[in-house]
Amino acid sequence: MFAAVLCALNSKYVHSSLAPWCLLAGVKAYCPADIQACVVEGTINEALTDISARIAKKQPAVVGLSCYIWNITPVLELVRILKAELPQAVIVLGGPEVSYNAAEVLTNNSLVDYIVSGEGERPFALLLNALYQSTQVKCIPGVCGRTESGVYTSQPYTPEDEPPSPYTEEYFSALNGRIAYLETSRGCPFSCAFCLSGRCGGVRSYPLERAKKELLCLAVSGTQTVKLVDRTFNANRPRALELFRFILQNYGRAIPPGVCFHFEVAGDLLDDETITLLAQAPAGAIQLEIGLQSFNPLTLAAIHRKTDITRLTHNLARVIGNGNMHIHLDLIAGLPFEDYASFAQSFNTAFALRPNMLQLGFLKLLHGAPMRENPQEYPCSYSDKPPYEVTETPWLTSRELAQLHQIEDAVERLYNSGRFKRTLNYLLECLTCTPFELFERVAESSGKHMEERITLDDYTALVYEYFSGLPNIDKTVLRDNMVCDRLATNASGRLPPVLYRKDETLKRIFTQMNACEETRAPSGVKRGIAWLYSKHCVVYADYRPETRKPVTGEYPLHYYYPKMDMA
């Protein structure tokens, strides 16, 4: 028997990897029965010696490893450890981090034997066949390697058929409740200069019946989240509408309630029929991730990003306004023609839509991306180490990028966490500043703590102490808003020291509430309760899982106005 191990190093345990299972499906479809393969998954946080030992135990003749910007460094270290344990094993790398610079990777890493560039199901299977039969490898499309005369690259493999399904009994057994990934198409219709997806040719869609079948299989696998990895899911609007409709028709029936489906979509391609349909989705059943990148027309033109900004903002206002879906918007700092003021404007435009998450990303110059391959057209400085993040551009100084990193941290903690919603609303009402300027202030006041593992209690204290000292801010109202945020989002029911007030009045009111059946704490249910000094009332939350809002994760707040003599 000729054995191969396909290994993936994930960023976290909760993530699964689809790539090795796709390759395993290719081995089963295109290799003889004498060639056996299996998958070994680990994380970048595990000891590499432990992962190597798990691989070595299989005694493979070939080890294949999936490479991305976030795992390439540990992967290459794992290769070194593996070669010491299995000196005869053939090491094969694949994935986007090595597909477009295969010759460079092979030249700089003598322990790597081959690289599969691009789609790998058939090329990897052909490579295994050739190694097993001791036949010529050099002629296999999509496989790069080395001979005595040096490194060679090959013509890319041009897929001609539908790849075999990776969703086998082995896959579902290994998934174990982690996030599941599903692709119903490959390729992207767009050619954004910072991205690799457009280099894979046009979109190749799998048959709808296959997509529906696999979607249902993943939905009942025990996972809570199914992420569709189609690069622009709604590029084909009728197809996207059909799959959305299929999910909603089966939700609560063939699809268990509580399963969430995550899609990457182009916001300006959403049509009225799709938006109307999605408005009917059960709360929390659908998540949409929408890459805005920028609202600067010059920037969008420079990166070849086709966006109808007017239609985009109109559509986003509608889907966000429905409130039944988690909406995730992305901006990228460091793009051409986007200076600090322009990025601030893009941020404010996106923030005004009030998505559930507004992610501030930073441009990465990926191997194979046009922005990296054409430095004269896209002049910028970037790190030579993964993830190749931009460090300076003609429009953004290194100092401004550092400032944006601090603002990103503030946005993550204060907005994306969902823990300060009422607080932010109050601050924006009282302060004469834009949302971007508000996060600038937070970044400046807490910047020295950005690298620290600061606790939520300590961060709450930083926010309170900074803003309570500003003009137009009423300390009592600020405190009360922060109290409401904490009770709605933290099921411990405990207030942080900066917000806690020892008050005998609350004890008396608590007794009054327990005497009444309507306001009595349910048996066995934890309750968080506090006195709001600005409203002269009690606020409380009962932490029952079934009442938690699926989109925001908040628990409902209730207000109790006591009899005057009690207050």
Q: Which helix (H) or strand (E) holds 539?
A: strand 537-542
Instruction: Copy the structure tokens of residue 203.
Output: 């979109």
Q: What does the pLDDT look like over 73-99, one tens digit per residue?
A: 999 999 999 999 999 999 999 999 999
Helix, strand or coil, per DSSP, at residue 244: helix
In DSSP terms, which residues pair with 90 in a beta bridge? 62
The single-letter DSSP state of residue 416 is I
In this prediction, residue 510 carries a pLDDT of 86
Query: Beta strands of 11-113 (E only): which ranges?
Result: 35-43, 62-66, 90-94
**CA 36 – CA 1 distance, rounded (Å):** 7
Contact 68, 17 (CB under 8 A): no
Q: Residues 6 or more apart from 276 whose CB is under 8 A from it? A: none
CB 486 within 8 A of CB 460: yes
- How are the residues of the chain apportioned to helix, strand and coil, as percentages rounded to the nearest 5? 40, 20, 40
Q: What is the pLDDT of residue 198?
A: 78
CB proximity list for 457: less than 8 A, separation 6 or greater: 496, 497, 498
Residue 114 Cα distances to 137, 405, 552, angstroms: 10, 38, 46
| CA dist list (Å): 15 to 8, 111, 469, 525 | 11, 28, 43, 32
Instruction: Please state the three-class secondary structure of 457-496 as a single string.
Output: HHHHHHHHHHHCCCCCCCHHHHHHHHHHHHHHHCCCCCCC
Alpha-carbon distance of 462 to 450, in angstroms, equals 12
Residue 120 to residues 31, 65, 77, 117, 462, Cα–Cα distance (Å): 13, 12, 23, 7, 50
Determine how many CB atoms are found less than 10 A away from the CB of residue 137: 20
Backbone angles phi, psi at 188, to 5 degrees: -145, 140
Omega cis (within 30) before 387 = yes
Res 161: pLDDT? 85
**CATH 3.40.50.280 corresponds to the domain 2-152:** yes
Domain with CATH 3.40.50.280 in the chain: 2-152
Structure tokens at 151: 């490194």
Q: Report how far residue 436's alpha carbon sits from residue 394's, in angstroms, rounded to the nearest whole number.
A: 22
| Per-residue model confidence (pLDDT) at position 275 | 98
What's the pLDDT tens digit per position in 153-205? 998 888 878 999 999 999 999 999 999 999 999 999 899 999 998 777 789 99
CATH fourth-level superfamily of 179-375: Aldolase class I (3.20.20.70)
Residue 172 structure tokens: 């579902």
Entry pTM:
0.94
C-alpha distance from residue 310 to each of 108, 205, 235, 279, 296 (Å): 48, 29, 18, 21, 12
What residue spans in the chain does CATH classification 3.20.20.70 cover? 179-375
Tens-level pLDDT at each residue, the chain (567 residues): 899 999 999 999 999 999 999 999 999 999 999 999 999 999 999 999 999 999 999 999 999 999 999 999 999 999 999 999 999 999 999 999 999 999 999 999 999 999 999 999 999 999 999 999 999 999 999 999 999 889 999 988 888 789 999 999 999 999 999 999 999 999 998 999 999 987 777 899 999 999 999 999 999 999 999 999 999 999 999 999 999 999 999 999 999 999 999 999 999 999 999 999 999 999 999 999 999 999 999 999 999 998 999 999 999 999 999 999 999 999 999 999 999 999 999 999 999 999 999 999 999 999 999 999 999 999 999 999 999 999 999 999 999 999 999 999 999 999 999 999 999 999 999 999 999 999 999 999 876 665 668 899 999 999 999 999 999 999 999 999 999 999 999 999 999 999 999 888 888 898 889 888 899 989 999 999 999 999 999 999 999 999 999 999 999 999 999 876 555
- Contact predicate 547/527, CB 8 Å: no
One-letter amino acid at 137 equals V
User: With contact defined as beta carbons under 8 Å apart, do 381 and 391 qualify?
Assistant: yes
Reduced to 3 states, what is the DSSP secondary structure of residue 254? coil
Whole-number pLDDT of residue 565: 57
d(CA 411, CA 236): 33
Of 230, 19, 41, the closest CA to residue 124 belongs to: 19
